[in-house]
């Protein structure tokens, strides 16, 4: 395994070289904290979103999907508390104008490496900070051609509110009853003062959020249920268990809306950090939207004849942060037959490419047979055909992309229609009948378990 200090540098370089993640607007010098997903990155991200959607929506009868708009009525952000409370205290160095989150300034010298989330700068001015000012993290823009206060709208800082304001639209359309949930994947925007650590904290990111509506009094039971479900999901995603833990929010950390909150944390190379939040939001949200919209958002249970404002248990995961976690957790280096190798041990379910198909040599009819197998396998899995260079180098290229299987057509294939299937992690090579490659891969994928 790469040393912890170097791991992030190596990963950032691999992401660029292999087309996982690029700096946004790179030819213009880049746009701070914005990133673009390249050909492999977009597949990985899509697979992670599908994995979440399958677990949270398609395999359940009690959760429905939603895709709400990013721009919403500005009163929503007053009701949610974001206009008044979604702020960070900010200070500026009077000398070099660098900006910090006041709660992250640990020393009294600008440029100190002690300032979390920011590299040391050349400025070493002592104690010359402005007074802390509150800075609202929501991005503002204007709806329509007139740029005045009456036309201000916000880019949503979380997807959750789009769910709350649609709760009864979804409930009625899908004939759900409480307890039930609504799930959504979508972009969110926060004008973070100190973004950083590659895609860990950015100003534009995607969330995968689920809001589960329950009867008051049953909320803590559901809260415990969702905590267990969500940590198990990361296990299925192939993240090592030893790198995950819960962190309970103490009274000073609890958000204004929450009665209880746990973060699922991952041990990133830079520290244990939040990957997902599981929150008991009480009836705060629906009460506030009732108050601000004038629409009664209480629920009437026609079996028990009770009327109440539902409590909400929220599971809120960052999609980009999960992609980063999957990459960090998968990154490994080893030595194979005296040659160093970089390998991404991604779970096959989320690997961007599932199989590489290789003719051993570019002659004797091998490319023709390999192309036929490639066409077959790609009908089921995202597959890559490669006939360039020594076979060992082709394997290495696929190892670095996280591809779990390598299918090689060799001299024996021409005699008995079998191929070798090489497994990325164990390096075991199995001879499999060419027409059985897909079921062979399916069996291996179903049995996959990530080792510690």
Shortest distance (Å) from residue 276 CB to ligand GAP: 5
Q: Please identify, using beta-carbon distances, which residue of 237 and 419 lies nearer to ligand GAP.
A: 237
Q: Which residues pair with 100 in a beta bridge?
A: 91
Question: Interface with ligand GAP includes 205 (CB under 6 A)?
Answer: yes
Shortest distance (Å) from residue 35 CB to ligand GAP: 10
Buried b (16+ CB within 10 A) or exposed e, 132-148: beebbebeeeeeeeeee
Using CA atoms, how far apart are residues 212 and 313, in angstroms rounded to an integer? Answer: 5
3-state secondary structure at position 325: helix
Question: Interface with ligand GAP includes 111 (CB under 6 A)?
Answer: no
Q: Radius of gyration of the chain from Cα atoms?
A: 25
Restricting to residues 298-357, which ones interact with ligand GAP according to CB under 6 A? 314, 316-318, 320-321
Joined together, the tokens standing for residue 204 give: 């534009």
Buried b (16+ CB within 10 A) or exposed e, 384-410: bbbbeeebeebbbbbbbbbbbbbbbbb
Question: Residues binding ligand GAP: what is the number (CB under 6 A)?
Answer: 19
Shortest distance (Å) from residue 208 CB to ligand GAP: 9
Using CA atoms, how far apart are residues 143 and 151, in angstroms rounded to an integer? Answer: 5
Q: Residue 314's closest CA among 159, 103, 97?
A: 159
Shortest distance (Å) from residue 125 CB to ligand GAP: 28
Question: Interface with ligand GAP includes 214 (CB under 6 A)?
Answer: no
Restricting to residues 222-281, which ones interact with ligand GAP according to CB under 6 A? 274-277
Shortest distance (Å) from residue 201 CB to ligand GAP: 4
Using CA atoms, how far apart are residues 53 and 37, in angstroms rounded to an integer? Answer: 20
The residue with its CB nearest to ligand GAP is 318
Question: Interface with ligand GAP includes 285 (CB under 6 A)?
Answer: no
Q: Please identify, using beta-carbon distances, which residue of 297 and 313 lies nearer to ligand GAP.
A: 313
Shortest distance (Å) from residue 270 CB to ligand GAP: 14
Chosen residue from 80, 184, 202, 383 binding ligand GAP by CB under 6 A: 202
**Distance of alpha carbon 68 from its chain centroid, rounded?**
19
Q: Please identify, using beta-carbon distances, which residue of 317 and 357 lies nearer to ligand GAP.
A: 317
Question: Interface with ligand GAP includes 50 (CB under 6 A)?
Answer: no
- Altogether, the residues listed in the chain come to a count of 452
Restricting to residues 149-178, which ones interact with ligand GAP according to CB under 6 A? 158, 160
Q: Are 272 and 245 in contact (CB under 8 A)?
A: yes
Question: Interface with ligand GAP includes 408 (CB under 6 A)?
Answer: no
Shortest distance (Å) from residue 344 CB to ligand GAP: 21
Shortest distance (Å) from residue 226 CB to ligand GAP: 13
Q: Please identify, using beta-carbon distances, which residue of 43 and 209 lies nearer to ligand GAP.
A: 209
Shortest distance (Å) from residue 351 CB to ligand GAP: 22
Q: Please identify, using beta-carbon distances, which residue of 318 and 402 lies nearer to ligand GAP.
A: 318
Q: Which residues contact 325 (CB under 8 A, 6 or more apart)?
A: 239, 266, 268, 275
Q: Are 406 and 424 in contact (CB under 8 A)?
A: yes
Question: Interface with ligand GAP includes 387 (CB under 6 A)?
Answer: no
Using CA atoms, how far apart are residues 337 and 365, in angstroms rounded to an integer? Answer: 29
Strand order through the sheet with 271-280: 63-65, 180-189, 204-214, 311-318, 271-280, 260-268, 244-248
Contact set with ligand GAP (CB under 6 A): 158, 160, 190, 192, 201-202, 205, 207, 209, 274-277, 314, 316-318, 320-321
């Amino acid at each position: 395994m790469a040393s912890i200090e170097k791991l992030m540098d190596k990963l950032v370089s691999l992401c660029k070289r292999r087309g996982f993640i690029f700096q946004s607007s790179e030819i213009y010098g880049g746009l701070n904290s914005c990133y673009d997903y390249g050909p492999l990155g977009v597949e990985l991200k899509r697979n992670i979103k599908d994995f979440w959607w399958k677990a949270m929506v398609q395999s359940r009868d009690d959760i429905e999907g939603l895709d709400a708009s990013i721009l919403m009525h500005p009163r929503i952000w007053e009701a949610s508390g974001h206009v008044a409370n979604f702020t960070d205290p900010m200070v500026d160095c009077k000398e070099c104008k660098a900006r910090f989150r006041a709660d992250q300034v640990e020393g009294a010298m600008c440029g100190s490496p002690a300032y979390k989330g920011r590299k040391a700068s050349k400025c070493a001015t002592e104690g010359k900070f402005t007074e802390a000012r509150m800075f609202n993290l929501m991005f503002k823009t204007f709806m329509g051609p007139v740029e005045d206060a009456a036309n201000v709208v916000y880019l949503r800082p979380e997807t959750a509110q789009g769910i709350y304001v649609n709760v009864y639209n979804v409930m009625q359309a899908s004939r759900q009853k409480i307890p039930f949930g609504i799930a959504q994947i979508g972009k969110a925007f926060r004008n973070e003062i100190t973004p950083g650590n590659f895609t860990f904290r950015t100003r534009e990111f995607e969330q995968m959020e689920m809001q589960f509506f329950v009867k008051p009094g049953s909320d803590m039971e559901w809260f415990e249920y969702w905590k267990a479900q969500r940590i198990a999901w990361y296990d299925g995603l192939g993240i090592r268990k030893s790198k995950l833990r819960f962190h309970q929010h103490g009274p000073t950390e609890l958000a204004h809306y929450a009665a209880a909150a746990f973060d699922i944390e991952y041990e990133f190379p830079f520290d244990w950090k939040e990957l997902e939040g599981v929150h008991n939001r009480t009836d705060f949200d629906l009460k506030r939207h009732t108050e601000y919209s004038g629409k009664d958002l209480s629920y009437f249970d026609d079996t028990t004849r009770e009327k109440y404002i539902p409590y909400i248990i929220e599971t809120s995961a960052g999609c980009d942060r999960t992609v980063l976690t999957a990459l960090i957790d998968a990154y490994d280096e080893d030595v194979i037959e005296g040659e160093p190798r970089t390998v991404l041990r991604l779970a096959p379910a989320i690997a961007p490419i599932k199989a590489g198909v290789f003719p051993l040599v570019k002659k004797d009819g091998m490319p023709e047979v390999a192309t036929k197998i490639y066409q077959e396998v790609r009908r089921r899995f995202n597959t890559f055909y490669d006939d360039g260079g020594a076979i060992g180098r082709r394997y290495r290229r696929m190892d670095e992309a996280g591809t779990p299987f390598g299918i090689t057509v060799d001299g024996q294939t021409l005699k008995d229609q079998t191929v070798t299937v090489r497994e990325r992690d164990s390096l075991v090579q199995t001879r499999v009948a060419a027409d059985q490659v897909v079921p062979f891969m399916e069996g291996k994928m179903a049995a996959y378990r990530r080792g510690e």
